[in-house]
């Protein structure tokens, strides 16, 4: 997909873009040409890909050093009850919404 973007979306690349910036901004354009291939991925590859983003989040949160901050956050951040709009336009509380 990255090679396809570099070849087919190169005209959208800004002069000062790094590869990462260009690929991040243009990545959605690659979905169409590869949609069938993505749908036909073997289950093992799908499972691996489903686990990958969570691992990235853990690494990012580790770099931000947010582990072990729950008590500090709880001291300063107070949850607010928010009403959710139901499909019919009426409002229900989160605990009434059901699963």
> Which one-letter DSSP state was computed for residue 97?
S
pLDDT one-digit tens code per residue, 47-93: 776 666 666 777 777 888 888 888 998 999 988 888 776 666 555 55
Determine the Cα–Cα distance for residues 35 and 29; give it in Å rounded to an integer: 11
> Contact 92/84 with Cβ under 8 angstroms?
yes
Q: Which domain holds residue 82?
A: 2-96
> Contact 30/5 with Cβ under 8 angstroms?
yes
SS3 at position 85: strand
pLDDT one-digit tens code per residue, 23-37: 999 999 999 999 998
Determine the Cα–Cα distance for residues 59 and 51; give it in Å rounded to an integer: 13
Report the number of distinct structural domains present in the chain: 1
């Amino acid at each position: 997909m990255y090679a396809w973007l570099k070849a087919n979306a190169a005209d959208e690349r800004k002069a000062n873009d790094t590869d990462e910036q260009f690929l991040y901004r243009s990545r959605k354009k690659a979905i169409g040409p590869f949609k069938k291939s993505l749908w036909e991925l073997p289950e093992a590859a799908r499972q691996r890909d489903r686990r990958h983003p969570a691992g990235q989040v853990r690494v990012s949160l580790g770099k931000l050093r947010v582990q072990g901050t729950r008590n500090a956050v709880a001291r300063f951040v107070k949850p607010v009850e928010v009403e959710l709009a139901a499909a019919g336009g009426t409002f229900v509380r989160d605990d009434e919404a059901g699963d």
